[in-house]
Structure 1
Amino acid sequence: MYTTCLASLSLILLSQTPAARSSSWDCQVLPSEQKVETDPDSGAKVTFVTTAPSSDTTIYFHHRCFLRNDRLMLFHSDRFGRTEVMGCLVETGELLRLNQADAPAASLPTISVNDDRLYVFKENAIYAWRVDLATEPRTQVHITETKLMEMPPGAQLRSLLTENCDGTLIAYTYVLDDACYIGFCDLATGLPLPVTKLDFKPDHLQFHWSRPDLLAFNRIYESDVAPKDPAVPRHARIWFLNTRTRVPIPAFFQVPGELATHECWWVSDQMTFIGGHHHEGNREEGNVKVLDLKTGDIRIVGAGVWMDDATAEQLARVNWWHASGSPDGKWVAADNWHGIVALFNAKTTEKTILVTGHRIYGGGQHLHVGWDQTGSRVRFTSNKLGNPDVCLATVPKN
């Protein structure tokens, strides 16, 4: 099933950068285009960070996208004729073109845990971008880029980059010669470490929030619903890997017909995911569940609904598709196909609808609801204004 590949390490070492090379530039600062409204039902403040006629989308929900103190938020935009990583200064609403116009577009960004730095992928290599930000007397943003390491020739990156909680490692997945690997970069040296070879395709790689040695990822199947055929091998969507042993193990095996998808680390050795036991064509049940690694228990924190006579559209309004927990441990936010974001109280499981109307069933970008660093705002992609925009919704204090 797996191999810790010392032979593959030698291949990667041939591709490493001989010496770290740096370059720097000043970022283009664009005026704020924010639009603020109040959700008519909840009263929550909703800030449209972007309103331009372009496709602007939030970073994937289980990845960090805010610099320390929530000063700068990352997002994706195609407003320059290609998809680039952009930033928004949260206090002023000013937008930042982080990429140089005449340079290859960077992708797959993730924010560092330790300082004002992000990691990106371009030209088959991993780079670190140091962000120096000043707002007086006017906004100025300067990026210093350092090349960390190159991928092996012919390798295709499969996942977002993910940094562990003590800032010592970056992990990534890639395909080379039809084989799948999880790779690691030592951030102190910029050198690649031994890789793990898998016999299946992985995705959604993410480090534990407080354990620097624990990775989660998913196994890609034709469906996230476990087959009901007893002759089919057992189905496990969610997997773990300890960086010391490099042995991948399933989090749990799904029972036949069970859905498990969109896992996301949370506080206190917990992980949220979407699960259900009813799936008929495009009619499905989606509960927000929490897996506790300390006990192995799985509980429902945000209940979905199943009705035998309901249509797929009706069921999609009262079930959930992505979920993520707040950094303070108080809430779990969930979104669905109808553009609804709900908050579930982590202690009582009480549901509060935060925003509605940000997607039409059957079309539009997924919301991919995530959080800022304080747990005071959720972030998501909205389709409400006619094209994808990045939004922040403030969590009511009561």
Structure 2
Amino acid sequence: MKQIFIIAAVCISTVASAQIGKRFPSERKEVIDPVTGTKLLFLTSTPAGDSKIYQTHNQWTSDGEWLIFRSNRARNEALAVNEKTGDIVQVTEGGYTGMLNVARKTMKLYFLRSSQRDTVRRTAGDTTRRRNPIPLQIVEVDLAKVFADSKAGKMKTANNYQRVCGTIPLDLEGGGDMALDGDEEWAYFRVGKNAAAKHLAAGTKPADNFGPRNMGAGPTGIAAMNVFTGEIKYVVSVPFQIGHIQTNPWVAGEIVFCWETGGKSPQRTWTVMRDGTGLRPLYPESEYEWVTHEAVIGKDEVAIAIMGHRKIGGVDTTGTAVGGANPGQDPAWGPSGTREKPTGLAIVNLRTRETIIAGQTKSGSGLWHVSGSPDGRWAVGDDFTRNIYLIDRNTGEMLLLSTGHKPTAGDHPHPTMSPDGTKIQIQSAMLSADGRSMNICIIPVPEAWLKRTYK
């Protein structure tokens, strides 16, 4: 039967409000934390649906002056805010998908984008609407040009600032997480189930879903694109669902990723090299350990959270899921996540494979999303109630740095330490009247701590 296709385009706005380089007034505001007395710097302060990049990725531009974030000020676009002036500038046009990747060596931004407008097809005699498969492209933005022309009020069309690095072949089923390599020549992306199965080692049985969220089944894989030539290389296939691909910014070709189940994984953290060698668990865990939110923090180190959020002998008084700000209480997750075993913010050495516990809260959920300074001085984490804790790794001292960021917030704080180790970026609902809408916030490491010297 002859097929009839009906195409429905999802239009990309070309009005001024969607243009790259559009400027927004400063919302920069200093606020004193009501409990700790810490001076907080809110770079955005109105309810516009702001959110930071995930803590596995870089946040600051290479000149250290701008932070890249997402906001409904320009829906489905990326924005930048200047830490000193508070100026806000739209830095993409045409949308993006997945993770934003801010280069550390150059003033560049990389992300995934559909290569054409979305389409819907319908066959004759069939009322079912099906999406046409659309290949993804990796796009580069020249941030220096955007900032300069935006400040001068002389913006050109978007293609003067955005460059297509290459197109991911449809048969790879690329998408999801993306990460820029330490050499900033390659970008890694997730490969779909059918494509990954072709590269899975003979005799490897794909994993089934794990846990009550029915996630984690495989196989999936990782592939790479050269951002200068568009060349594609296959990296590795694994029998489970890959999540949170990240790289070591200080070691070219080193990748860290996770087995994503939406909660406890049989083996959460993994590492592999760009050529597919060295695939192994990063931190081998037992069924009693709930490992999550790994983040590369230095040349040889990865921070992880070993959760201690569940009661010993029972998940809660009712045996049911708590939900909301306190996930993971469902009994179907198994025996992990209690403090019957050591828990806390752990640091794993990629070379020696040794692990230390840097710190843990005395009660409550324990530290959840974690980060640290590249120089090895500090570690930082949040908890279920959105408190932010700073740890001096030399002394073991832990400081409640900031609180009041509202458990009702639309997302978690996701603290990320700055490259120079002097401040922490979070997303916070502290200023929101509805208790949900978040803003971009900077928390300084206390001056007294920065001045510390050690024998």
Structure-2-length-normalised TM-score: 0.71
Matching residue of 1:273 = 304
Q: Is the 8 A contact 2:427 2:440 kept in 1?
A: yes
Q: How far did residue 346 of structure 1 move?
A: 1.4
Q: Is the 8 A contact 1:337 1:359 kept in 2?
A: no
Higher RCO (CA < 8 A, seq sep 6+): 1
Distance 1:252 1:330, change over 3 A: closer
Structure whose CA Rg is larger: 2
Q: Is the 8 A contact 1:44 1:395 kept in 2?
A: no
Matching residue of 2:165 = 148
Matches within 5 A, 1:180-191: 180-191=220-231
Q: Tell me the amino acid that sits aligned with residue 84 of structure 2.
A: E
Q: How far did residue 190 of structure 1 move?
A: 2.1
Q: Is the 8 A contact 1:84 1:106 kept in 2?
A: no
Matching residue of 1:346 = 393
Please point out which of 24, 28, 36 is paired with 2:30. 36
1:260 and 2:254 equivalent?
A: no
Matching residue of 2:21 = 27
1:170 and 2:187 equivalent?
A: yes
| Runs (5+) with no aligned partner, structure 1 | 1-24, 226-234, 307-314
Does 330-339 or 140-149 show the bigger shift? 140-149
| Runs (5+) with no aligned partner, structure 2 | 1-18, 115-135, 197-219, 316-328, 330-336, 449-455
Matching residue of 1:217 = 257
Q: Is the 8 A contact 2:60 2:66 kept in 1?
A: yes
Does 249-258 or 351-360 show the bigger shift? 249-258
Question: Counterparts of 1:376 and 1:104 in 2: how far apart (Å)?
Answer: 32
Please point out which of 115, 121, 126 is paired with 2:106. 115
Matches within 5 A, 1:9-88: 27-80=21-74, 82-88=75-81
Q: How far did residue 65 of structure 1 move?
A: 1.7
Q: How far did residue 27 of structure 1 move?
A: 0.5
Q: How far did residue 105 of structure 1 move?
A: 4.3
Distance 1:135 1:32, change over 3 A: farther
CA RMSD of aligned residues (A): 2.5
Q: How far did residue 134 of structure 1 move?
A: 3.1
Q: Tell me the amino acid that sits aligned with residue 21 of structure 2.
A: C
Q: Is the 8 A contact 1:84 1:107 kept in 2?
A: no
Question: Counterparts of 2:423 and 2:380 in 1: how far apart (Å)?
Answer: 10
Q: Tell me the amino acid that sits aligned with residue 197 of structure 1.
A: S
Matches within 5 A, 1:262-341: 262-276=293-307, 279-280=310-311, 281=315, 282=329, 284-285=338-339, 287-305=344-362, 315-316=364-365, 319-341=366-388
**Secondary structure in 2 matching 1:134:** helix
Q: Is the 8 A contact 1:27 1:97 kept in 2?
A: yes
Q: How far did residue 269 of structure 1 move?
A: 0.7
Matching residue of 2:177 = 160
Q: Tell me the amino acid that sits aligned with residue 183 of structure 2.
A: D
**Secondary structure in 2 matching 1:177:** helix
Q: How far did residue 186 of structure 1 move?
A: 1.6
Q: Tell me the amino acid that sits aligned with residue 134 of structure 1.
A: A
1:371 and 2:417 equivalent?
A: yes
Q: How far did residue 252 of structure 1 move?
A: 3.3
Q: How far did residue 28 of structure 1 move?
A: 0.5
Matching residue of 1:16 = none
Deviations 1:155-178 (A, max 9, x none): 554543211222221111132537
1:393 and 2:384 equivalent?
A: no
Q: Tell me the amino acid that sits aligned with residue 236 of structure 1.
A: Q
Q: How far did residue 299 of structure 1 move?
A: 1.0
Deviations 1:259-308 (A, max 9, x none): 111111122411110014673433855510111223222111012346xx
Distance 1:84 1:37, change over 3 A: same
Q: Tell me the amino acid that sits aligned with residue 378 of structure 1.
A: I
**Secondary structure in 2 matching 1:79:** helix
**Secondary structure in 2 matching 1:357:** coil
Q: How far did residue 44 of structure 1 move?
A: 2.4
Matching residue of 2:87 = 94
Does 180-189 or 246-255 show the bigger shift? 246-255
Deviations 1:18-39 (A, max 9, x none): xxxxxxx751011101221122
Question: Counterparts of 2:280 and 2:412 in 1: how far apart (Å)?
Answer: 29
Q: Tell me the amino acid that sits aligned with residue 139 of structure 2.
A: Y
Distance 1:107 1:293, change over 3 A: closer
Structure-1-length-normalised TM-score: 0.81
Q: How far did residue 109 of structure 1 move?
A: 1.1
Q: How far did residue 384 of structure 1 move?
A: 1.1
Question: Counterparts of 1:173 and 1:99 in 2: how far apart (Å)?
Answer: 22
Q: Tell me the amino acid that sits aligned with residue 359 of structure 2.
A: G
Q: How far did residue 46 of structure 1 move?
A: 0.8
**Secondary structure in 1 matching 2:78:** strand
Question: Counterparts of 1:335 and 1:271 in 2: how far apart (Å)?
Answer: 16
Matching residue of 2:148 = 134
Q: Tell me the amino acid that sits aligned with residue 393 of structure 1.
A: I
Does 208-217 or 243-252 show the bigger shift? 243-252
Q: How far did residue 89 of structure 1 move?
A: 1.3
Number of corresponding residues: 351
Q: Is the 8 A contact 2:34 2:404 kept in 1?
A: no
Does 335-344 or 252-261 show the bigger shift? 252-261
Question: Counterparts of 2:222 and 2:291 in 1: how far apart (Å)?
Answer: 22
Question: Counterparts of 2:264 and 2:374 in 1: how far apart (Å)?
Answer: 27
Distance 1:245 1:99, change over 3 A: closer
Q: How far did residue 209 of structure 1 move?
A: 3.0
Does 335-344 or 140-149 show the bigger shift? 140-149
Question: Counterparts of 1:99 and 1:106 in 2: how far apart (Å)?
Answer: 12
Q: How far did residue 382 of structure 1 move?
A: 0.3
